[in-house]
């Protein structure tokens, strides 16, 4: 709509210019143009874990919907991300007004900044999700954080918990973990766990009593696992 | 139009009766993947009538709840203290990743909210909220709750039927049906006899033997173990 309106204005001003009435040009052109309001946010994520790289972080801007709910089965998009780190379907979530992905996994102790730009501020929420890759199906993130009242240059910070997608049993077995600890299988459409999203119980590891685990004490984690700062920049 | 007088009434109630009687809607979510909560007790009480105190020995009533899920002694004490309470809102166990709702009307002076429920399978673990001050301002508040250890029973991690009585060693039940047997016992002593943050279940990977009857991939947890949403009306 806005595009076609400005086209009309361009045509109008062009025809006015053609009349040679150059004195009035500026007024005629600038007055009716509706500026497109743009709201911009940065999402900075810090990986707080010892040895759990975070898969490329997916962030979305939206006004409704949730990426997951405790007690409900994981969506297919969440399962794909939580088991294998593939965030493509999460980024394409139907209720997302804007989306952004980190280019690469986020190593422990490092941080990354993503940007989101929207044309709506009313009821605006930001969500993000990422896999702890040296696990079967652990993920972390934030769900529908309201940013509609943030002023320009104002920030909010949160820490995030480790969740379990509930779609793959936490066997920690060789061949089942996609991260560098195993380089095993990521996504598998079979659901052999409780099929509800819950908090993650943590990894056990071969050093703490799970003989068949490919993980070591290095891969253990505790809450919180990430720190997130959302800043409105425009 | 209908909602307007109600809203006005709520606003007046908040300003004129601040920190006195309140109407609460409460939602408790079990965040864990593998633990059940036994019947839940929620009380609104004065500053003295707490359900538990960290770094203090558990009362016999708390011990009875934490070792076997029996709320009766805690309820008797709460009634005697003129506390307001909701007992067993989930009507039994609250399963992993499940929620229950309750409403509570509090009397003047009962300005603190507390909550307990035993965690199964544990020896004497419980989810707890100790004396959260009920806000005077209407709104919805979210509180994350941790797992505590009553400090009254050694965490041997052996599932023993009928072990829910105070002083009887063992875990009375594993409601998920996913525990093992024939464990030798993780420990036979409790070194910290005060109420403390639970060190967590250990478990093992041998359901037929080993030290623990618990499964180390199922029965462990990380805090928080519950989310409490309180709407002050």
In chain B, domain spans: 21-233
Substitution target from B95, B96, B98, B139 for chain A, most A beta carbons within 10 A: B96
Cα–Cα dist B149/B194, whole Å: 8
For A197, the closest chain B residue by CA position comes to B97
Query: What's the pLDDT score for residue B38?
Result: 98
A223: chain B residues, CB-CB within 8 Å:
222-224
Substitution target from A70, A158, A163, A201 for chain B, most B beta carbons within 10 A: A201
At residue A8, does pLDDT exceed 70?
Answer: no
Instruction: For residue range A65-77, list pLDDT tens digits in order.
Output: 999 999 999 999 9
Is A219 in the B-facing interface, judged by CB distances under 8 Å?
A: no
The pair of structure tokens assigned to A62 is 């939206």
For B21-233, which CATH class? mainly beta
Is B73 in the A-facing interface, judged by CB distances under 8 Å?
A: no
Query: What's the pLDDT score for residue B204?
Result: 97
Query: What's the pLDDT score for residue B140?
Result: 97
Percent of chain A past pLDDT 90, that is, above it, reads: 84
Query: What's the pLDDT score for residue B20?
Result: 78
Query: What's the pLDDT score for residue B114?
Result: 98
Q: Are B203 and A164 within 8 A, CB to CB?
A: no
Pairing of strands A138-146, B226-232: unpaired
For B204, the closest chain A residue by CA position comes to A209
Instruction: For residue range B23-63, list pLDDT tens digits in order.
Output: 999 999 999 999 999 999 999 999 999 999 999 999 999 99
Instruction: For residue range B152-169, list pLDDT tens digits in order.
Output: 999 999 999 999 999 999
Q: How far is A194 from chain B (nearest CA, A)?
A: 8
Distances (CA, A) of B9 to A126, B103, B138, B141: 34, 19, 12, 21
Is A135 in the B-facing interface, judged by CB distances under 8 Å?
A: no
Query: What's the pLDDT score for residue B9?
Result: 45
The pair of structure tokens assigned to A126 is 């930001």
The 3-class secondary structure across chain B, one letter per residue, is: CCHHHHHHHHHHHHHHCCCCCEEEEEEEEECCCCCEECCCEEEEECCCCCCCCCCCECCHHHHHHHHHCCCHHHHHHHHHCCCEEEECCCCCCECCCCEEEEEEEECCCCCEEEEEEEEECCCCEEEEEEEEECCCCCEEEEEEEEEEECCCCCCCCCECCCCCCCCCCCECCCCCCCCCCCCCCCCCCCCCCECEECCCCCCECCCCCCCCCCECCCCCCCCCCEEEEEEEC
Cα–Cα dist B111/A168, whole Å: 44
Q: Are B216 and A166 within 8 A, CB to CB?
A: no
Q: Are B221 and A199 within 8 A, CB to CB?
A: yes
Is B76 in the A-facing interface, judged by CB distances under 8 Å?
A: no
Give B45's strand partners: B112
Query: What's the pLDDT score for residue B17?
Result: 44
For A17-30, what is the mean pLDDT? 47
Count of CB atoms situated within 10 Å of the CB of A153:
9
**A35 band by pLDDT with thresholds 50, 70 and 90:** confident
**A31 band by pLDDT with thresholds 50, 70 and 90:** low
Query: What's the pLDDT score for residue A5?
Result: 41
Which CATH fold topology does A39-232 show? Immunoglobulin-like (2.60.40)
Stronger pLDDT, A11 or A104, i.e. the higher one:
A104
What is the average pLDDT score of chain A?
A: 90
Query: What's the pLDDT score for residue A33?
Result: 65
Q: Are B221 and A169 within 8 A, CB to CB?
A: no
Q: What is the DSSP letter of A143?
A: E
For B214, the closest chain A residue by CA position comes to A209
pLDDT along chain B (233 residues), means of 10: 43 48 97 98 97 98 98 98 98 98 97 98 98 96 98 98 95 96 95 97 97 98 98 97
**A2 band by pLDDT with thresholds 50, 70 and 90:** very low
Instruction: For residue range A147-182, list pLDDT tens digits in order.
Output: 999 999 999 999 999 999 999 999 999 999 999 999
Cα–Cα dist B158/B182, whole Å: 8
Query: What's the pLDDT score for residue B143?
Result: 98
- A&B contacts, CB < 8 Å: 71
Lowest mean pLDDT among A13-22, A52-61, B179-188: A13-22
For A211, the closest chain B residue by CA position comes to B205
Stronger pLDDT, A37 or A79, i.e. the higher one:
A79
Q: Is A79 helix (H, G, I), strand (E, B) or coil?
A: helix
Is A208 in the B-facing interface, judged by CB distances under 8 Å?
A: yes
- B25 and B231 in contact (C-beta within 8 Å)? yes
Q: Are B227 and A164 within 8 A, CB to CB?
A: no
Percent of chain A past pLDDT 70, that is, above it, reads: 85
For A191-207, what is the mean pLDDT? 97
In chain A, domain spans: 1-36, 39-232
């Amino acid at each position: 709509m806005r595009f076609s309106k400005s086209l009309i204005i361009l045509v109008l001003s062009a025809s006015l210019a053609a009349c040679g009435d150059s004195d009035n040009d500026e007024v005629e052109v600038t007055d009716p143009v509706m500026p497109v309001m743009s709201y911009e946010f940065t999402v900075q994520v810090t990986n707080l874990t010892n040895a759990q790289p975070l898969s490329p972080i997916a962030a979305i801007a939206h006004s409704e919907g949730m990426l997951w709910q405790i007690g409900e089965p994981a969506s297919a998009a969440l399962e794909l991300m939580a088991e294998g780190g593939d965030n493509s379907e999460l980024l394409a979530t139907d209720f997302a007004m804007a989306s952004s992905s980190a280019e690469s996994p986020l190593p422990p102790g490092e941080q990354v900044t993503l940007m989101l730009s929207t044309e709506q501020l009313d009821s605006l929420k930001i969500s993000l999700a990422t896999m702890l890759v040296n696990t079967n199906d652990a993920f972390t993130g934030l769900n529908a954080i309201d940013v509609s009242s943030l002023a320009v240059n104002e920030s909010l910070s949160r820490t995030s918990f480790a969740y379990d997608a509930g779609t793959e049993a936490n066997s920690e077995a060789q061949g089942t973990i996609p991260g560098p600890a195993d380089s095993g299988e990521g996504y598998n459409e079979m659901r052999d766990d409780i099929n509800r999203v819950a908090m993650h119980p943590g990894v056990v590891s071969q050093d703490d009593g799970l003989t068949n685990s490919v993980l070591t004490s290095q891969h253990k984690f505790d809450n919180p696992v990430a720190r997130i700062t959302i800043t409105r920049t425009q | 139009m209908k909602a307007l007088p109600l809203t006005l009434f709520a606003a007046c109630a908040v300003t004129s009766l601040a920190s006195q009687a309140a109407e609460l809607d409460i939602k408790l979510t079990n965040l864990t993947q593998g633990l059940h909560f036994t019947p839940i007790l929620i009380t609104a009480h004065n500053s003295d009538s707490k359900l538990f105190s960290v770094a203090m020995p558990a009362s016999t009533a708390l011990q009875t709840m934490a070792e076997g899920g029996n709320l009766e002694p805690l309820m008797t004490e709460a009634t005697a203290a003129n506390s307001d309470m909701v007992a067993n809102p989930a009507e039994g166990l609250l399963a992993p990743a499940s929620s229950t709702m309750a409403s509570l009307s509090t009397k003047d002076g009962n300005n603190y909210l507390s909550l307990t429920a035993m965690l199964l399978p544990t020896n004497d673990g419980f989810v707890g909220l100790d004396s959260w001050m009920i806000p005077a301002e209407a709104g919805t508040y979210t509180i994350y709750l941790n797992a505590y250890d009553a400090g009254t029973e050694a965490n041997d991690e052996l599932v023993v039927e009928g072990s829910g009585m105070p002083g009887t060693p063992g875990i009375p039940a594993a409601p998920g049906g996913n525990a093992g047997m024939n464990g030798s016992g993780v420990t036979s002593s409790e070194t910290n006899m005060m109420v403390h943050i639970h060190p967590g279940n250990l478990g093992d990977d041998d359901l037929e033997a080993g030290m623990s009857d618990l499964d180390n991939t199922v029965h462990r947890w990380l805090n928080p173990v519950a989310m409490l949403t309180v709407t002050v009306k």
